[in-house]
């Protein structure tokens, strides 16, 4: 190649990309994803040129999706023959994607991508490959960014495809255009296959490629492709900075196993730009790479944290549940996508208890880890308090039988000194008892209702007065 020739300029661009992102470490085994189309054939020959200057093991990888029948088989045979002619090992797999589509949920594009990367991972393990080279180029990047923008993506989506992903997948052509690739193939006389479905307008990418981008070039910015290619690296760097900040915040709240516990106060101190990112980082950590965390999922949890209600729950179709209890929001993986299995036991889901008690008497409560003790005391003794773990009440105002039990739906009490009754659940909420612990709070009840919410309030009905003849001291230990 002569200095200043189109080939020199093309390789200078690709070499700069490879060097900038450390795509091809010396001697690292590389798998080239080759479909037979122009992009992947250019990628294969670029890698062969790199290998001449710095040798490394190279394997051609081809996945036959079986979407176009004989044409798909023809693509596979073409790539096999080209690999043999170039002296490069060839590895392929055929998957019946139409059949898979009938059996599994998801779009054709999503399933095709899943099968493609499953093949790449298997090939990497079998061949000992440390890099998989993909043929995405600069125009693919432009289309991807526009598609993400149209779908309402934030900065994370607008950063486009990463030049290096997961330390394994590399895109050496990501900063050259489709036109430059076709020119390179033409000058070298490199054959390639064309896929007629790339011109069909049913898919969003094809509509962006063949309709939207030409419209933008004609009516708005003749250099829109180059403009977006320049902007994407800047957006990527800014996004990476924000993600690192959000990851640090999320790490503070990650719990053991598949849980997280977010402080509402600390969360409110984060800049709004980091709040959504921190939540997405937490959710993605819980559900893994198999599920997509959408903005709607993040916004749902965000509403729980920012809302004025001190308690609340939500279940996401990701198989994740979140519960707010005052200044804390717990997020856990339930493992059941789309189902409302409650990951946070409430009073009705705890082991309920109902235990008889006498005066005098001691009542251990294994379910609550507490004990209630009742002792007769002199009637003229001054009651120390009407709330807390020790109270005094009028024995003669009790209507047998006497029980210690867990909270039940509809329980009410008229707290000492109050004119009206209140729901026991409201008292526990005011006392900031976590929802999961409310079923463990013992209630002392008689034949007429609740006498004492242990640790909280005594009933006005059994108040000790100057007329009281027999008193009882109740203590929760």
CB 354 within 8 A of CB 405: yes
The H or E element that residue 361 is part of is: strand 361-365
Confidence at residue 111, expressed as pLDDT on a 0 to 100 scale: 83
Tell me the Cα Rg of the chain: 34
Question: Residue 135: helix, strand or coil by DSSP?
Answer: coil
The one-digit pLDDT tens for each residue of the chain (477 residues) are 554 556 678 989 999 999 999 999 999 999 999 999 999 999 999 999 999 989 999 999 999 987 778 888 999 999 999 999 999 999 999 988 777 777 776 677 778 888 899 999 999 999 999 999 999 999 999 999 999 999 887 788 888 999 999 999 999 999 999 999 999 999 999 999 988 777 788 888 899 999 999 999 999 999 999 999 999 999 999 999 999 999 999 999 988 878 899 999 999 999 988 999 999 999 988 887 667 787 778 888 888 898 887 778 888 877 888 888 888 898 988 865 544 445 554 444 457 888 888 898 888 888 888 899 999 988 765 555 555 789 999 999 999 889 999 998 889 999 988 888 899 998 888 888 877 788 889 999 998 999 999 989 999 999 988 888 899 999 998
The CATH architecture one would assign to domain 6-230 is 3-Layer(aba) Sandwich (3.40)
Confidence at residue 307, expressed as pLDDT on a 0 to 100 scale: 83
Contacts of 296 (CB under 8 A, 6+ apart): none
CB 178 within 8 A of CB 139: yes
Confidence at residue 262, expressed as pLDDT on a 0 to 100 scale: 92
- Helix (H) and strand (E) counts in the chain: 15, 21
Confidence at residue 68, expressed as pLDDT on a 0 to 100 scale: 78
Cα angle value 411/414/417 (rounded, 5°): 155
Distance CA 61, CA 88 (A): 10
Residues in the chain: 477
Q: What are the Cα distances from residue 72, in Å, to 101, 106, 285, 361? A: 17, 22, 37, 83
Contacts of 106 (CB under 8 A, 6+ apart): 114
354-476: CATH topology is Phenylalanyl-tRNA Synthetase; Chain B, domain 3 (3.50.40)
Distance CA 95, CA 243 (A): 36
The CB density around residue 179, as the number of other CB atoms within 10 Å, is 12
Closest C-alpha to 343, from 311, 315, 309, 303:
315
The H or E element that residue 33 is part of is: strand 30-33
- Tokens representing 117 are 């990367």
| Backbone φ and ψ of 185, nearest 5° | -65, -40
Is it true that the peptide bond before 401 is cis, omega within 30 degrees of 0? yes
Confidence at residue 55, expressed as pLDDT on a 0 to 100 scale: 94
The H or E element that residue 328 is part of is: strand 328-333
Helix, strand, coil percentages (3-state) for the chain, rounded to 5, are 45, 20, 35
Show me where the domains of the chain are located: 6-230, 254-333, 354-476
Confidence at residue 349, expressed as pLDDT on a 0 to 100 scale: 45
Confidence at residue 384, expressed as pLDDT on a 0 to 100 scale: 55
Alpha helices (H) in 199-347, listed in sequence order:
204-207, 213-219, 224-253, 264-268, 272-287, 295-306
Q: Given 3.30.70.270, 3.30.530.20, 2.60.15.10, 3.30.465.60, which CATH number is that of 254-333? A: 3.30.465.60
Rounded to two decimals, the pTM is 0.66
Place of tokens 């670029």: 46
């Amino acid at each position: 190649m002569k200095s200043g020739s189109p080939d020199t300029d093309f390789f200078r661009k690709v070499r700069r990309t490879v060097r900038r992102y450390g795509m091809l470490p010396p001697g690292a085994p590389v798998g080239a994803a080759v479909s037979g189309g122009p992009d992947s054939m250019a990628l294969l020959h670029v890698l062969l040129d790199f290998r001449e200057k710095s040798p490394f093991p190279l394997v051609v990888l081809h996945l036959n999706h079986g979407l176009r029948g004989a044409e798909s088989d023809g693509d596979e045979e073409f790539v096999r023959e080209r690999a043999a002619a170039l002296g490069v090992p060839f590895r392929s797999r055929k998957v019946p994607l139409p059949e898979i589509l009938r059996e599994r949920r998801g779009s054709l594009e999503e399933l095709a991508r899943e099968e493609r990367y499953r093949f790449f991972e298997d090939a990497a393990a079998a061949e000992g490959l440390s890099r998989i080279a993909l043929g995405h180029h600069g125009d693919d990047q432009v289309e991807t960014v526009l598609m993400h923008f149209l779908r309402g993506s934030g900065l994370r989506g607008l950063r486009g495809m990463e030049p290096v992903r997961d330390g394994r997948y590399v895109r050496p052509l990501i900063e050259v255009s489709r036109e430059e690739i076709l020119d390179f193939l033409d000058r070298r006389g490199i054959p390639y296959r064309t896929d007629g479905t790339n011109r069909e307008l049913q898919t969003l990418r094809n509509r962006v490629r063949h309709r939207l981008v030409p419209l933008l070039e004609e009516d708005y910015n003749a250099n829109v492709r180059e403009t977006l290619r320049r902007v994407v690296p800047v957006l990527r760097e800014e996004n990476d900075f924000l993600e690192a900040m959000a990851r640090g915040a999320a790490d503070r709240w990650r719990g053991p196993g598949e849980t997280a516990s977010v402080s509402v106060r600390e969360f409110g101190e984060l800049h709004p730009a980091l709040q959504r990112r921190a939540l997405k980082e937490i959710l993605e950590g819980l559900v893994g790479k198999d599920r997509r965390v959408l903005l709607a999922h993040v916004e749902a949890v965000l509403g729980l944290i920012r809302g004025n209600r001190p308690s609340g729950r939500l279940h996401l179709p990701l198989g994740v549940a979140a519960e707010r209890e005052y200044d804390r929001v717990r997020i856990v993986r339930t493992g059941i996508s789309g189902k409302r299995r409650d990951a946070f036991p409430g009073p009705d889901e705890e082991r309920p208890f109902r235990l008889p008690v006498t005066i005098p008497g001691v009542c251990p409560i294994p379910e609550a880890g507490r004990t209630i003790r009742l002792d007769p005391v002199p009637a003229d003794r001054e009651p120390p308090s009407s709330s807390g773990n020790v109270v005094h009440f009028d024995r003669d105002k009790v209507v047998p039988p006497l029980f210690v039990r867990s909270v039940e739906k509809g329980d009410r009490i008229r707290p000492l000194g109050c004119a009206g009754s209140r729901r026991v659940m409201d008292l526990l909420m005011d006392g900031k008892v976590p929802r999961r612990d409310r079923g463990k709070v013992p209630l002392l009840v008689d034949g007429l209702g609740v006498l004492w919410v242990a640790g909280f309030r005594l009933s006005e009905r059994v108040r000790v007065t100057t007329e009281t003849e027999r008193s009882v001291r109740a203590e929760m230990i």
